[in-house]
């Protein structure tokens, strides 16, 4: 016969065994997830063939997301060739040419010297005037840039050391046959160790209409990167 005290202890022991089993299963699942998770970002500022970047753009009005994948095919003559020539950058990450609309708003507002002119990341408060074009449509920016000290930024499961640069002012757009200046706000997070923007948010009116579709409110994030 089983002593009465042992009988009383059985439910408690059963509960403890179930808790231990659940904890072991949770630990095993976490280990499997960690093994499947992309490795932490190991890239340097120097681009090499096989480097790849995965950006995600989120429309803040609809929450629709789109993925932009960039892969370095080759590096030659001071040019970094992505995606079969669809995008070309210089070694500092400035776009030299692009046939795709991917990253186009970030490319347009990026100043000629980039966010780290002469190798020095933008700091303090400074005026920012940019003239650019996309598909023969001119775009102008008359902004004030305010840079904050370098800080840790987490995007998904990746942490970056990045400088935050807030932009505010006016943006010139062509609507039909007319040129309008519209208020413009954006924030750039630039990672010096990568020489790349890792987050970009922007908010401005993109056409003369009053509908919500006349507004651009987007977030662009570098969610993964690596080297094959």
Q: How confident is the model at residue 212 (pLDDT cuts 50, 70, 90)?
A: very low
Alpha-carbon gap, residue 62 to 218, rounded angstroms: 10
* Nearest of 223, 225, 219 to residue 103 by alpha carbon: 219
Q: How confident is the model at residue 26 (pLDDT cuts 50, 70, 90)?
A: low
Q: pLDDT tens digits, residue range 76-107? A: 988 999 999 999 999 888 889 888 878 889 99
Alpha-carbon gap, residue 170 to 185, rounded angstroms: 8
**Token pair 């803040």 in the structure block, residue:** 60
pLDDT of residue 85: 94
Q: Provide the mean pLDDT of the chain.
A: 82
- What are the residue ranges spanned by the domains of the chain? 1-37, 56-68+101-227
**Token pair 């970056």 in the structure block, residue:** 160
pLDDT of residue 12: 64
Q: pLDDT tens digits, residue range 126-154? A: 999 999 887 777 889 999 999 999 999 98
Segment (H or E) for 10: helix 4-36
Q: pLDDT tens digits, residue range 173-192? A: 776 677 788 899 999 999 99
Alpha-carbon gap, residue 118 to 92, rounded angstroms: 10
């Amino acid at each position: 016969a089983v002593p009465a005290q042992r009988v009383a202890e059985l439910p408690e022991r059963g509960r403890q065994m179930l808790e231990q089993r659940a904890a072991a299963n949770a630990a095993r699942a976490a280990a499997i997830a960690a093994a499947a998770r992309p490795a932490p970002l190991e890239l340097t500022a120097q681009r090499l063939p096989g480097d790849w970047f995965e950006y995600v753009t989120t429309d803040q009005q609809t929450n629709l997301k789109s993925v932009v994948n960039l892969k370095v095919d080759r590096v030659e003559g001071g040019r970094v060739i992505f995606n079969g020539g669809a995008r070309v950058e210089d070694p500092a990450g400035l776009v030299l040419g692009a046939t795709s609309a991917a990253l186009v708003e970030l490319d347009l507002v990026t100043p000629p010297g980039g966010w780290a002119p002469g190798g020095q990341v933008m700091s303090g408060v400074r005026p920012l005037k940019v003239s650019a074009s996309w598909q023969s449509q001119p775009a102008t920016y008359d902004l004030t840039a305010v840079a904050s000290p370098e800080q840790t930024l987490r995007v998904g499961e990746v942490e970056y050391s990045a400088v935050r640069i807030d932009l505010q002012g006016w943006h010139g757009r062509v609507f039909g046959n007319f040129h309008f200046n519209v208020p413009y706000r954006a924030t750039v997070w630039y990672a010096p160790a990568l020489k790349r923007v890792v987050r970009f948010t922007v908010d401005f009116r993109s056409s003369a209409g009053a509908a919500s579709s006349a507004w651009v409110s987007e977030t662009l994030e570098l969610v993964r990167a690596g080297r094959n």
